[in-house]
Amino acid sequence: MTTPTVSPVSSLRILALHRGQLVAVAIIGAVLGIIGLLLPGVSYLTIAIIFGIYLVASGIFRINSALLAPDLGTGTRWLIGLLGVLVVVAGVICLANPFQSLVVLAYVIGLGWIAEGITDIMSGIQGGVRPRWYYWVSGVVSIIAGIISFVLPAVAIATFVLIGSILLLFVSISTLLTLPRKEKVAR
């Protein structure tokens, strides 16, 4: 069975069909990036809500993995499941009161990263994943990022907003600059 290939010409035609949607999304992204840079306070609430949703989804994923993943030891299954429950609870707390939970949000993000790091390191040690070294490195980096979020929570949140806003602005502008041009109709 062969997989159909899409030629660059047909890809450009597909992009041209959705050009208006791409322009709209890029403009919205640019506006949100500018708002994040000029009015970071508004962005803090948005980030608190988005990360609360992320934590709930991430925790549910961990619980699901603990229940359904084959070849997990009992201890690992319990650890992943309990960490998943903690991450879901933290996400619900963030969603319940986002204005007052920004510092807590930095702690929750840090806790999530530390839990993810522990899980990655354990996966690397058990050897059920390949390449093993990738999971060790990923785990160490996640744990370091989590510790930084605990030590400097206000700086962590401000950095998330600043970097996210800049990236959103650049991606939106680059999308606008690289859109395929409409084909000219011959008269």
**In-domain check, residue 186:** no
Task: Give the pLDDT confidence of 132-181 residue by residue, as tens digits.
Answer: 888 899 999 999 999 999 899 888 888 888 888 899 899 889 988 887 66
Task: Give the pLDDT confidence of 63-72 residue by residue, as tens digits.
Answer: 988 888 778 7
Query: How many folded domains does the chain comprise?
Result: 1
**In-domain check, residue 70:** yes
Whether the CB-CB separation of 121 and 139 falls below 8 Å is answered with: yes
**In-domain check, residue 82:** yes
Which class for 62: exposed (0-12), middle (13-18), buried (19 or more C-beta within 10 A)?
A: buried
Q: Vertex 63, ends 60 and 146: CA angle to 5°?
A: 75
99/142: higher pLDDT? 142
What is the pLDDT, as a whole number, of residue 25? Answer: 81
Judge if the upstream peptide bond of residue 131 is cis by omega within 30 degrees of 0: yes
**In-domain check, residue 10:** no
Measure the CA–CA gap between 167 and 182, rounded to whole angstroms: 27
**In-domain check, residue 19:** no
